Chains A and B, each alone.
Chain A
Amino acid sequence: MSTSTVALVDYDEAVARFDPVIGIEVHVELGTRTKMFDGAPTEFGADPNTQVTPVSLGLPGALPVLNGTAVESAIKIGLALNCQIAEVCRFARKNYFYPDIPKNFQTSQYDEPIAHDGFLDVELEDGTVVRVEIERAHMEEDAGKNTHVGGATGRIHGAEYSLVDYNRAGIPLIEIVTRPITGVGTRAPEVARAYVQTLRDIFRALEVSEARMERGNVRADVNVSLRPSPDAPLGTRTETKNVNSFRSVERAVRFEISRQAAVLDGGGTVVQETRHWHEDTGVTTPGRVKSDAEDYRYFPEPDLVPVAPSRDWVEEIRATLPEMPVARRRRLQDEWGYADAEMRDVVNAGAIELIESTVAAGASPAAARKWWMGELARTANTDGVALEELLVTPLQVAELQGLVESGRLNDKLARQVLAGVLAGEGSPEQVAHDRGLEVVSDDGPLIAAVDEALAAQPDVAEKIRSGNLGPVGAIIGAVMKATRGQADAGRVRELVLERVAQD
């Protein structure tokens, strides 16, 4: 398992000499309350083997019955990926022996997926859009979990025995398979990452899965191959299994490109194989070659009947689909009038929903962006928390902005009020009141303050009177200081000029 001997070609050199082609298989665990084929609950983190029935344990005699909600979720995903939804499709048995699959076959769709021939437009960080073609999306079931015990490293090869928990066995999975993604050249790792990230956003928008990467709700297998030029036939690919974070997807593709380039440069051939991703070392290593040579002996699952979604049902589901994240982003950018770079920052900061709510509560898009991407982003950054975790709601931000626009707060006061809100002192109105933070709008006290300031600096007053407006700022500053910033500077300026003229 030593990885130190793996030769690598510098990434830029690799992509200069070879054209990478990638393909991605994503498995998403649906967030249904029960498993794909039985009513066993699917709560995360339950004690081992407490979420199983005779069906999910594969006990003799048990039979599967398909979860209707899982089918609906599969159709939603298919439609969101612009797929055709099959008129009739079936499940098959994929036969292989492994202790974490209780029946020693996985019930999965094989040659008749529920959704096929779609595409997904993926937006890269610089705004480039890449269309990824979807070959198919099909339904299947998850496996149980093996924990390897004993042995020196705790790795499978050194284990003395394994403990198996079947809670996860039978949880509904949708597997989404792309066609080979070509023509992305050096950006292949970035495209892979953006594709998985976009899918994650879609799963969440559809509310079919919590899509939490760290829980393994979304798992990616990345296929990579190299060819000498875009005109050449596809090279031999490797499949790196179970890459479970966005960053890892990008790194794994990058690593494989460098590794395969080194193999090819050395006159070798890439072996078609399954590889494993090692998060800690950032490398892939070959999996054990299966003696069964993947003879899965597929045949139609006789214990389940065909799924034939009526066109009415499909259209009904289509009508309830939420707007997809990329389309929504484009619409909002348009409505808000943000520049591309501004919108990208908002997206990357995870501020879309916050700004949308703030705008809905009455703030202008520009003001909403100013608050969330300015003062609040700085605070969140300093505190090391996410924007939505701050103790301020979009409604409060809109209220704060309303106070500014009505002239009751100026920018400086507004920031102080916001600090109070973030400190949990209540709504902006409340904080302004409690802290006595409000622009002084009554001219009486202001006039007094102006007169006082002019009297304190007679030479400055004289200069102004003689038409030199340069030093007005000094008087305004004195007034602001005297009123503890609660004056409207514009109004102070007007009053200074008025009072000087009257003298």
Chain B
Amino acid sequence: MSTISREEVARLAALARIDLSEAELTRLAGELDVIVESVAKVSEIATADVPATSHPLPLTNVFRDDVPVEPLPVADVLAGAPAAEDGRFLVPQILEED
């Protein structure tokens, strides 16, 4: 019995911009329980007094000097583009305005 619904998986897939088939949605709904179990497990010991570690080794203040490097040649920039025009990447029409 899965705890994450098929609808929830569909919402996540939309958020992650992945088209999923009906079969994939159903299968993934069952498989997402692993994460719920993982949460239950870590919750046993992740108490408020334990600080979080986001970096394995504690470095700070890694800065770069403000000195320009050679940019990529524009031919290289666009070489891998699925489509390009006038030195720019051609992308399909954008519906969502920011």
B77 CB within 8 Å of chain A: yes
Residue in A closest to B68 when the chains form the complex, CB atoms: A41
Task: Tell me, yes or no, whether B66 is within 8 Å of chain A by CB.
Answer: yes
Task: Given A97-B17, A292-B15, check contact A162 B91 (CB 8 Å).
Answer: yes
How far apart are the CA atoms of A238 and B89 in the complex, in Å?
33
A164–B82 alpha-carbon span in the complex (Å): 13
One digit per residue, 1 when the CB lies within 8 angstroms of any chain A CB and 0 when it does not, for chain B 55-86 equals 10001111111111101101001100000011
Q: Is A66 among interface residues, defined by CB-CB distance under 8 A?
A: yes
Residues in B with CB closer than 8 Å to A307 are 60-61
Number of interface residues of A (CB under 8 A): 63
Partner of A290, one of B59, B74, B96: B96
B62-A52 in contact (CB<8A): no
B23 cross-chain contacts in A, Cβ below 8 A: none
Are the C-beta atoms of A52 and B98 separated by less than 8 Å?
no
Tell me the nearest residue of chain B to A98, going by C-beta.
Answer: B98
B72/A53 in contact, CB under 8 A:
yes
Cβ contact within 8 Å between A156 and B68: no
| Cβ–Cβ contact B55 & A305, under 8 A | yes
User: Per a CB cutoff under 8 Å, which of B54, B68, B85, B93 touches A300?
Assistant: B54
In the complex, the answer to whether B66 meets A287 with C-beta atoms within 8 Å is no
Chain A CB within 8 A of B22 CB: no
A160 to B94, CA, bound (A): 8
User: Would you call A312 an interface residue if the criterion is a C-beta within 8 Å of the partner chain's C-beta atoms?
Assistant: no
Contact of B64 among A54, A68, A162, A276 (CB under 8 A): A68
- Indicate if the CB atoms of A34 and B61 lie closer than 8 Å: no
A165 to B86, CA, bound (A): 10
- What class of interface size applies to chain B in its complex with A? 35 or more
* Inter-subunit contact A32/B93 (CB<8 Å): no
Are the CB atoms of B55 and A164 closer together than 8 Å? no
Query: Once the chains bind, are A157 and B95 in contact (CB under 8 Å)?
Result: yes
B56 to A, closest residue via Cβ: A302
Residue B13 lies at the interface, judged by CB distance under 8 Å to chain A: no
Chain A, residue nearest B94 (CB):
A162
A65 to B67, CA, bound (A): 12
Specify which chain B residues have a CB less than 8 angstroms from the CB of A53 in the assembled complex. 69, 71-72
Residue of A nearest to B91 (CB): A99
A291 to B71, CA, bound (A): 36
Q: Given the known A-B contacts A41-B68, A57-B72, are A98 and B96 also in contact in the complex, defined by CB atoms under 8 Å?
A: yes
Say whether B60 contacts A50, CB under 8 Å. no
Q: Does B92 contact A (CB under 8 A)?
A: yes
Q: Which residues of chain A are within 8 angstroms of B66 by Cβ–Cβ distance?
A: 32-34, 67-70
A295 touches B (CB below 8 Å): yes
B77 touches A52 (CB 8 A): yes
Q: Which of B61, B72, B93 contacts A160 (CB 8 A)?
A: B93
B37 within 8 A of A: no
Q: Is residue B90 within 8 Å, beta carbon to beta carbon, of the partner chain?
A: yes
> B74 to chain A: which residues have CB within 8 Å?
47-50
**CB of B88 within 8 A of chain A?**
yes
Given the known inter-chain contacts A32-B66, A33-B66, please indicate yes or no for A147 contacting B88, CB distance below 8 A.
Answer: yes
A 276-311 to B, binary, CB cutoff 8 A, 1 in contact else 0:
100000000001101110010100101011111100
- Which residues of chain A are near B61, meaning CB under 8 Å? 305-309
Q: Does A474 contact B (CB under 8 A)?
A: no
List the A residue with the shortest CB-CB distance to B12: A295
- Bound-state CA distance A151–B93 (Å) is 10
- Please report the C-alpha to C-alpha distance between residue A241 and residue B91 in the assembled complex, in whole angstroms: 24
Point out the residues of chain B lying under 8 angstroms from A156, CB to CB. 93-95, 97
Question: B14 in the interface, Cβ–Cβ < 8 Å?
Answer: yes
Question: Distance in Å from the Cβ of A53 to the closest Cβ of chain B?
Answer: 6
- A248 close to chain B: CB less than 8 A: no
Whether a CB of chain A sits under 8 angstroms from the CB of B51 is no
Partner of A288, one of B64, B88, B91, B96: B96
**Across the interface, do B60 and A288 meet the contact criterion of CB distance under 8 Å?**
no
Alpha-carbon distance A374/B98, docked complex (angstroms): 48
B68–A67 CB distance below 8 A: no
Contacts A/B (CB < 8 Å), 10 sampled: A39-B68, A40-B68, A49-B77, A69-B65, A159-B93, A164-B89, A241-B98, A287-B98, A292-B15, A302-B54
